[in-house]
Amino acid sequence: MSQKRKVIKLATVFSGIGAVEQALMRLEVPFETVFACDNGERHIDIDYDAEMKKIRKLSGAKEKKKYTERLYEKKSRKINFVKQSYLANYKIKKDNFFEDVKLLDGTDFNGNVDLFVGGSPCQSFSVIGTKGGFNDTRGTLFYEYARLIKEIQPKVFIYENVYGLTRHDKGKTWNIMQQVFSELGYHYTFKILDSRNYGIPQGRRRIFVVGFKDEAAYKKFKFPEEIKLKYTMQDFLEDNTAPGSLQSVNGKLVKVNKLRGKPEEKYYLSEKLIAYCLSPGTKNFMHAGAKIDLPVARALLSTMGNLHRSSVNNYVTTNGRVRALTIREAHRLMGFPDSYNIVVSKAQAYKQAGNSIVVDVLINLAREIINAEKWNK
């Protein structure tokens, strides 16, 4: 008689649109979301230390959540679009979705979490960000993640960020972060993983830190072996998508007015960049015809607008013409299936896809963690 599989108790911060949730769903691993937390890039001006002291005196996570929500209602009129997307796709009680990691009391969940996942905002460490590191408010959110590990005491944690943080400030930032991980009392290891090595034709290198409370599980764990890439970006495109609304006029690529059928005055791309975009390879996405076994192919065109990897400024070619990725294609190239519900605006959907973790990388990583912890028995 077969045994029931363990239901993994999952908790996430900087939860985004639920990449690890998608990974567990695609692995058909049963899980329960203890809590998720994301402020949807809303920022409020408060004395966080003072407010946290008040919150810790309240009774229970539910009351603390209500207090935080009232703070946001007073200080911000912005909508939490990330919360909208998350609640539309995953089974979680509204009381278990929190608004702000800096106001989340992890002691309420001590000993009740198997897997804790988060990646503090990467802009501080990214090559396209300010590189402010810990001097940037977003960089200091790493300490909130570490604080929650200490308070929650999960069996396993996964921390994800851009690979560039290992080089920030000549490696000093990463050395400090490693020291913090060591002081938490966990056995941890780390490695840079690239999504092109785990089934998705996108060059997206990220550092993953995996920590175990149990030393035996840590010793058994190994990072997943690389997989030969079988797909190109064209395999992820929608077949019924129009070739595009960009047209070359007088040596420039301009947007076509859908109503009048005429090019607008606003120039988008030069002919030189058009040729670049039409080339058969890409650094970020693997085109059909690209030599995908090479570590670096030609770069995909990206203009100076939204610099998210899966943004409106990531162009593809259809029948020799140029167009932007659709929001569904952007999600596919992050490993999200078409069953994922897109319930926000086009602009928000592009941003949310670009901010996520590639699901297929987490699938391979989660499989190794589950085997090490013997959660599959």
For the chain, the residue count is 377
C-alpha–C-alpha distance, residues 208 and 361, integer Å: 10
Residue ranges and CATH numbers for the domains of the chain are: 8-227+359-373 (3.40.50.150), 242-325 (no CATH)
Beta-bridged to residue 317, according to DSSP, are: 322
Query: What is the tens place of the pLDDT at every residue in 242-253?
Result: 655 555 565 555
Model confidence pTM above 0.75: yes
| 153 torsion bin: left (phi>0), alpha (psi -120 to 50), beta (else) | left
CA 20 to chain centre: 9
Burial-class residue 258 by CB neighbours within 10 Å (0-12, 13-18, 19+).
exposed
Please give the structure tokens belonging to residue 63: 């009351």
Return d(Cα 335, Cα 206) in angstroms, integer. Answer: 15
Q: Would you state the pLDDT for residue 294?
A: 28
Tell the residue number behind the tokens 């990583």, with chain if given: 365
Pair 245, 261: CB distance under 8 Å: no
Give the residue from 81, 102, 99, 79 showing the smallest Cα distance to 36: 99
pLDDT of residue 302: 29
The pLDDT of residue 259 is 55
Average pLDDT for runs of 10 along the chain of length 377: 78 97 97 96 92 96 95 93 97 92 96 94 52 53 93 98 84 87 95 93 91 98 95 78 60 58 52 54 50 30 32 55 77 94 93 92 98 90
Side-chain half-sphere CA neighbours of 69 within 13 A:
14
Q: Which residues are catalytic?
A: 122
Pair 101, 121: CB distance under 8 Å? no
Which of 222-242 are b and which e, b meaning 16 or more Cβ less than 10 Å from the residue's Cβ? Answer: eebeeeebeebbbebbeeeee
pLDDT for 42 equals 92
